[in-house]
Structure 1
Amino acid sequence: MVTRTPAWSQLGTPDRRKRRCSCCTRPPIRFCLAWAGFIFLLTWTCLLYRPSFPPSTRYIGYQAFDMLASPHSLAKPQQDLEEQHSSTATSAPITYGPSFPNDIFAPLVPNTFPLTEITVHQCFRFGFEVCRPPSTAAKDARLGPWVKVDRPLDSESEVNESKDKGKTTGGGVFGNIFGSLESRYIFYRRSKRTSDVPNVVEVRLVELGTDQNPQGGEWAGWHRVKTDLRSHYMRIFMQLPPLHLYYRTVGGTDEDRVGIEAGEYHEPSKAGNSTYQPVTELDIVYGNGPPWPGFEPVGQVAPYQPEFSSSGVRLTMRRAPIPNPPLPVHPLFKADGTFKIVQLADMHFSVTHGDCREVDWQSSEKPCVADDDTNALIGQWLDEEKPDLVVWSGDQLNGQGSSWDVKSVLPKVLKEVIDRKIPWAAIQGNHDSESGHLSRVEQQRMLGLLPFSLTRTGPASLHDGEGAGNFYIELHSPAPDDMHLFTLYLLDSGSAAPKDKWKPWKWNGYDWIRKDQIEWFLKVSAKWKKIARPYIPDGAKDLGRLWKVKRRSGTALSPSSLVQRQSAATGEVWNGNATKATHLAKPKALFFCHIPIPEAFAPVDKDPHTGSKLEFGEEQEGATFEGGQKNGGIFDAIVAQPQEERDVVGFFHGHMHINAACRRVTGLWICFNGGTSYAGYGKIGFPRRTRVIELQQWGEKVTTWHRYEGRKERIDENTLYEEGEKKQ
């Protein structure tokens, strides 16, 4: 018999063995430190990135539910607008719907309640405290809770926030460090009480050296915020003096006047002084662009200093919200039967001025400023052409790290059109997805909030749930019959194609118009009713006049009296018994999308008589499918429609800056705009340009031409379509 020796006996004396459980063992110090570090990081992450309501990136979506309840509101879904049959907006007074929340920063919401108090607070990104000025329950109840203007007072902090979203790059070394550590924000209170609370009526920024601690007189009723608007980084590295915010109040109680710089408080009189209209909102603008419409500049917090990666920061304020000007529900043809469209493509604007690319005329005496010179060129074209509609066909923003704040760039892009009160619509390009932390849907909604905008988001489910800007615009007759004569389709062609799951590191081409978008387009196209062509805008007005004449004479209207009528607009007599050919046809249409369809590079049609190719214009960017949508589908769907059901007669694209040709493929014209902006890439000898499209004869004829920089005449003017022309 073999006796087994216990294993423990080989390790030492048996009587020294002690029974130990695993839970009684003291853990190593390294394990304790690692566990403590994990708990610290988890706690810090939860405090820093705790969710708020609504989340900061969803403010625009939140505001979409509480916009002006205007009858012409164009941010409504497409299906809502389809129910409206009136050709013009009604004159009903604007209503603001339900009460807006006072504890959320939403500058695009038309909140009419005045601000009651303003302050500046320093926030540390790695701190554990809630970034909010001190307050009391009583003050919160009477004056309103503190609301953070969630846009830092230094552009470096905003750039860093965008970088966290993976949408931008940039910033200097010191700016990245200090912008990550410290930021300063403006806070304000707003109250719905009107009797016993102060109203902020004016705001100023005063720099050290001009700040003289005012005493009474002009400065009566002013409060001085003690915290400097400028961070330590701005004062140390940018060598900027301290800057303080002053705001003026009227009304309130003696308690509200504590801290007023004037020695003796004098209540300013509000009688007959428009400057005492209450301030209802504050906002920050980065870069050199104009304020958001309805806001006015207050002062500069930080100048543009590229050596310190500072884009410039300005404070703006809004008094009473001003509703957007009313627009017709459907744009109308002019009385002469024409409707003119100007297409502007690939602006590539940035927060700052941006660099001019491929320009041969600039010099030290005449430098090129990309956004300013582009806007001057656009203004000249608009004044020459006087269009009825402007279509922005994508890439309004440069992306690539330079357009990191969308709300600061869009007013600059649209300034010339808004200043001239021209209706406009916009779709997005691939570079618009590279800008800031707003999604494409949020950007599209923001475009819809600007004055004179016909832009809509369209059905949210399209483009596999990621599309924004799938909508159409009906063009109607100005006659009383309000006839639908023409359609403009605007669809989102997306950005980059989805990655190949087997090769995620490889560029997979550009996105395309998806199957669900094609189905939506076909459904919309199928619902249009056919109208008599050629169209004569006689309408009910002429018929009503004839009816009155016959009723007064006691003579009944005979069929022959209705056969021949005169157009009130042109004087042309339309005779139903004449041999002039008439037929029923659907309103024709044009199709806009940013990235060109693959068929844009297919072989063109040829004239059956001469054998020449049906194309015109410059095409200097290689005819390659790689520059277009990765997949097709929309072109084939249109070609497959029966001839009598087909409404689209042409496609219009941007994306390729040095392609400006029109090519006819399988009976459909496909046209490029060419580069409009000095901020986008170009080519020496290839002028910046805009495409003009004129619908004539009530939409029965489509003509197009270009306008070039430095030239007054029309370039490459050609007719793309004419009703009744012999098909070739």
Structure 2
Amino acid sequence: MVLLASRYANSVARGAVLSIAAGLSFMLIARHQLALPHAHPPGVAQRIGSQAWDVALRASTPGQTIVNAESSSASSSTSSTLSDFKDEDDDDALDDSHLGFARGEWNPFLAETTPITEIQIKTCMLPPGLYDLCSPTSSKKEDATRGEWRRVDRDLNKRVGIYYAYLYYRLLIPSSSTPVITNITLIDQEIELDSTDGVWTRVSENIREGIWPRMKPMYLYYRSTSQHLIKAARAASPDRNAGDSLEPITQLDVIYGGNEVQPLPGYTKLPGKISGGEDDEKAVGTGNRKGSRVGSTLAYRKIAQKSAAAPPLRFSAEGTYTILQVADLHLSVGPGKCRDLDFKQRTNCEALGADTYTLQWLETALDEVKPSLVVLSGDQLNGQDTSWSVQSAIMKFAPLIYRRSIPWTVVFGNHDGETTDLDLKRQIDLMSRLPYFVGEAGPSSIAGSGNYVRSIRASDSDTVLSTLYFLDSHANVKKTAPWSQAGYDFIKPDQINWFRGRSAQIHTLKRPYTPSNVQAKGSRARPSKANEAVRHVPRGSESRTTAQTSALASGSNAATQRDDPDWAPSESGIGGKRMRKRALHARQDDEDADALGDGEGDDSVLGPDDNTEDIAKAIAVEEAGNSDEKIDLGYGMMPDDGANIQDAPTGHETDTFVKGNPLLENEKGLEPTVLPVGPTLAAPLEAKPNALVFFHIPLQEAYDSPIDVGADGTRLFFGERLEGNGASKTDSGFFQQGLLAQKELMAESDGPVDAFWDGESSAPTKGRPEVKVVANGHCHISEDCRRVNGIWLCFGGGASYSGYGQPGFLRRMRVYELSDYGETIETYHLLDTKQIIDRVVLVGEKAMGS
């Protein structure tokens, strides 16, 4: 008898297991493929269910058209004129697949018009994305007569439960007379609801099933209304609408987070919370309350409406345009954590939650500045495992902007892609479906997401008067070893080539620009602000007031408590230590520190802001130089040798200063930096319009390049920088090969082209750089500007209480005011006390240093 080897049985067993696994895999794949809708079915493509319902119960008049939110951002965010599409860089059509929504499945952005007829809740141990074992039981006959179940693909128990819970719903079948759902509500007790507008049904499953630790049961009720009743209500209405009460519900959504998270446009958020509400003992707190459950609730939509498209970006008739830069919001799904605040401000912040406190400040800034455009310059999301629902974080800040009919756009920071459910490309896709958004992902062949151009045109023509470039500065470079720290990434060579190619496409114009309907001389008027208590100093700059400065000399080390693990204070050169030349950094009065109070009796969320008397006293002290207080410049106390306030360099009342640092020494008599001649009123030239560039992580040149010198022999910088070097360790070459290479005047001949350039033949240029300002975020307690080789490098300063800061360093937002049809660029900071500091003309005939 032949004996089989002992390993024979094992081989047979392994073969059997592999065969079974292969068979199961084949069946799963086959089922998935068969379940997918045909992309190109034979004959004319139809959505029969929707059409049948539209015919039976059309909500709009025949002349109205409900536009699908799937439409391209290019077509929804610009007007129909050809010139308005010249800026478009996105070579990918907007597709729901980018957001993870397949056709025929639940999609909260789809303009669904078919009513919902049934709702169920099901729980399961395995995620349905792996294999859907959670679906409600249904026969083929029921699917044919009542419709197939669709799953709302958001886990009700996300991060709060021990297993998964999902909503399922059915849509109305064509020509069916089944009642449709017109209302839903959440109730934490079993009751019977009566209504003359329909019959209420309780979903059998406890919507809190699976939450741990357990909560009191809560049930979802929905009201079913007869189609005849809806038709009668529409017939009686002049606009053919059954009203908020009787219009059918056509879409559902699950929202994570607190009250500050708004639903998508067109949706209504239910007031009760499934978890994380007031009745949840484990709900996450806004102050010292310990809890971890952020929670969720439901939202529904009845009628899908087209999102408002942002008009083309245009100067006003007076030639002005205002850009509000909002840097580093650091928003989470939950309430956020208040960071690095004075005691009274921390108390107010923790009472509301850091994110809510930040959003109130954002609303105040929007109402104060009334910007033409809002640019969020990166780290809108806090990342760090707190922004796991991108939609929740975005729907905290975006509605505050678009509900004011303000165009807005973004660039991404190093935290925006951390531990989230949507990558940067899909984040852009989501925002492109929101009103007034003017950004885009940019070419897919270029590194990163968010490389694009926007032009600001004249009010009376399509002439481009200013150019805005937006780039992705990426996040972190890949680690070379598990134990190494990942440094910041850098702008890639293909991005530099893209920038130069787009710059080469910008048309020149005769500058300064004269509109067709010439305005009277002196028509430009700066908006007056009663609380703009600032002192004028030479060269077009206005000094920062002491009432707005803070107690940074108190020795706090909060500036080093960055949220980036690889950041450390610099031990040499600029930035690692506090750098400041002004001496009057005494702690603010209590009313200033408490300026962000409850806001009672004021139309703003912020508190009092007028400190004119204190400001006048402080300025008098500074001018008299009669203070005996020693000043900590970050390198130890000043020697007690009779030196006082005016012993520090006096070239800039708002400058930072580090004794012995050649980049920041501000002595008189330096040789002025001479730039090529540009267009002036006396000598107009054919030139490209002035440009600004927005990206998150600053360049190395913001730290180690020589600072330009003004006509009076002093260096051109102002503001303060209270932290270390935040640039990438890798020199991308963008400053030299990109910004300095593209100038505003076209060269007289094609001439030689540097080896780096592989784009347009008309690239060679001359004169001053086309880009006049680089606007960065990233460094929350850096808010200075400095001019390097004719380009201003400016930090926005931290805007959020959820991001790191330093006690006494007020949160702020930078404003860029473009005037004289783009020839003048002026900037200032708006503090969270609603006061304005450091108003400086950067570009123009009255610019600083001219």
Residues 560-616 of structure 1 show CA distances to partners (whole Å, capped at 9, x for unaligned) of: xxxxxx4489889xxxxx994322111111000011112111233242544322110
Q: What is the CA distance between 1:628 and its match in structure 2?
A: 3.4
Q: What is the CA distance between 1:40 and its match in structure 2?
A: 8.8
Q: Within the alignment, does 1:291 sit opposite 2:273 as a pair? A: no
Matches of 1:569 and 1:74, distance apart in 2: 39
Aligned to 1:718: 840
Q: What is the CA distance between 1:231 and its match in structure 2?
A: 1.3
Give the 5 Å matches for 1:147-166.
147-156=150-159
Paired AA for residue 462 in structure 2: D
Residue 486 of structure 1 aligns to a residue whose secondary structure is strand
Q: Within the alignment, does 1:686 sit opposite 2:809 as a pair? A: yes
The structure-2 alpha-carbon separation of the partners of 1:499 and 1:46, relative to structure 1 and needing over 3 Å to count, comes to farther
Tell whether the 8 Å contact from 1:75 to 1:445 is kept in structure 2 after alignment. Answer: no
Tell whether the 8 Å contact from 1:595 to 1:629 is kept in structure 2 after alignment. Answer: no
Residue 416 of structure 2 aligns to a residue whose secondary structure is helix
Tell whether the 8 Å contact from 1:296 to 1:318 is kept in structure 2 after alignment. Answer: yes
The structure-2 alpha-carbon separation of the partners of 1:435 and 1:26, relative to structure 1 and needing over 3 Å to count, comes to closer
Residue 285 of structure 1 aligns to a residue whose secondary structure is strand
The partner residue of 2:424 within 422, 440, 454 is: 440
The partner residue of 1:586 within 684, 688, 691 is: 688
* Largest Rg, 1 or 2: 1
Residue 821 of structure 2 aligns to a residue whose secondary structure is coil
Give the 5 Å matches for 1:51-200.
68=67, 74=73, 84-85=82-83, 103-125=104-126, 130-156=133-159, 175=161, 178=162, 182-191=163-172, 193=174, 196-200=177-181
Deviates more, 1:106-115 or 1:122-131: 122-131
The structure-2 alpha-carbon separation of the partners of 1:508 and 1:326, relative to structure 1 and needing over 3 Å to count, comes to closer
Please state which structure has a larger fraction of its residues in helix: 1
- TM-score for both structures, normalised by structure 2: 0.65
Q: Within the alignment, does 1:303 sit opposite 2:426 as a pair? A: no
Give the 5 Å matches for 1:626-637.
627-628=727-728, 630-636=730-736, 637=738
Matches of 2:412 and 2:428, distance apart in 1: 8
Tell whether the 8 Å contact from 2:467 to 2:689 is kept in structure 1 after alignment. Answer: yes
Matches of 2:34 and 2:790, distance apart in 1: 50
Matches of 1:51 and 1:676, distance apart in 2: 50
Tell whether the 8 Å contact from 1:604 to 1:613 is kept in structure 2 after alignment. Answer: no
Tell whether the 8 Å contact from 1:77 to 1:457 is kept in structure 2 after alignment. Answer: no
Tell whether the 8 Å contact from 2:119 to 2:167 is kept in structure 1 after alignment. Answer: yes
Paired AA for residue 399 in structure 1: G
Percent of residue pairs bearing the same amino acid type: 33
Give the 5 Å matches for 1:381-420.
381-420=365-404
Matches of 1:292 and 1:696, distance apart in 2: 35
Residues 626-677 of structure 1 show CA distances to partners (whole Å, capped at 9, x for unaligned) of: 6336332221122123451442111000001111010111111100011000
Matches of 2:182 and 2:816, distance apart in 1: 47
Tell whether the 8 Å contact from 1:487 to 1:588 is kept in structure 2 after alignment. Answer: yes
Tell whether the 8 Å contact from 1:457 to 1:469 is kept in structure 2 after alignment. Answer: yes
Paired AA for residue 296 in structure 2: V
Residue 294 of structure 2 aligns to a residue whose secondary structure is strand
Q: Within the alignment, does 1:474 sit opposite 2:455 as a pair? A: yes
Q: What is the CA distance between 1:498 and its match in structure 2?
A: 3.0
Aligned to 2:721: 619
Matches of 1:327 and 1:638, distance apart in 2: 29
Structure 2: tracts of 5 or more residues without a match: 37-65, 87-93, 278-282, 285-289, 525-679, 746-764
Aligned to 1:5: none
Aligned to 1:344: 326
Residue 462 of structure 1 aligns to a residue whose secondary structure is coil
Give the 5 Å matches for 1:643-722.
644=745, 645=765, 646-712=769-835, 714-722=836-844
The partner residue of 1:204 within 185, 199, 222 is: 185
The structure-2 alpha-carbon separation of the partners of 1:69 and 1:689, relative to structure 1 and needing over 3 Å to count, comes to same
Q: What is the CA distance between 1:449 and its match in structure 2?
A: 1.5
Residue 504 of structure 2 aligns to a residue whose secondary structure is helix
Q: What is the CA distance between 1:183 and its match in structure 2?
A: 1.5
Residues 696-727 of structure 1 show CA distances to partners (whole Å, capped at 9, x for unaligned) of: 10000100010112242x21111111169899
Matches of 2:83 and 2:776, distance apart in 1: 31
Matches of 1:638 and 1:54, distance apart in 2: 53
Residue 627 of structure 1 aligns to a residue whose secondary structure is coil
Q: What is the CA distance between 1:445 and its match in structure 2?
A: 1.2
Residue 350 of structure 2 aligns to a residue whose secondary structure is coil
Residue 248 of structure 1 aligns to a residue whose secondary structure is strand
Matches of 1:153 and 1:431, distance apart in 2: 26
Q: What is the CA distance between 1:377 and its match in structure 2?
A: 1.2
The partner residue of 2:297 within 299, 314, 322 is: 314
The partner residue of 2:192 within 213, 230, 234 is: 213
Q: What is the CA distance between 1:342 and its match in structure 2?
A: 0.5
Tell whether the 8 Å contact from 1:121 to 1:132 is kept in structure 2 after alignment. Answer: yes
Residue 460 of structure 1 aligns to a residue whose secondary structure is coil
The structure-2 alpha-carbon separation of the partners of 1:192 and 1:353, relative to structure 1 and needing over 3 Å to count, comes to same
Matches of 1:610 and 1:692, distance apart in 2: 26
Aligned to 2:559: none
Matches of 1:403 and 1:483, distance apart in 2: 41
- Higher relative CO (Cα under 8 Å, sequence separation at least 6) belongs to 2
Tell whether the 8 Å contact from 1:405 to 1:435 is kept in structure 2 after alignment. Answer: no
Paired AA for residue 252 in structure 2: L
Q: What is the CA distance between 1:504 and its match in structure 2?
A: 5.1
Residue 410 of structure 2 aligns to a residue whose secondary structure is strand
Tell whether the 8 Å contact from 1:595 to 1:653 is kept in structure 2 after alignment. Answer: yes
Aligned residues: 609
Aligned to 1:546: none
Residue 414 of structure 1 aligns to a residue whose secondary structure is helix
Tell whether the 8 Å contact from 2:70 to 2:109 is kept in structure 1 after alignment. Answer: no
Residues 114-172 of structure 1 show CA distances to partners (whole Å, capped at 9, x for unaligned) of: 22221111222189763211123333234432111111111326xxxxxxxxxxxxxxx
Residue 27 of structure 1 aligns to a residue whose secondary structure is helix
CA RMSD of superposed structures (Å): 3.8
Aligned to 1:376: 360
The partner residue of 1:246 within 214, 221, 224 is: 221
Deviates more, 1:243-252 or 1:510-519: 243-252
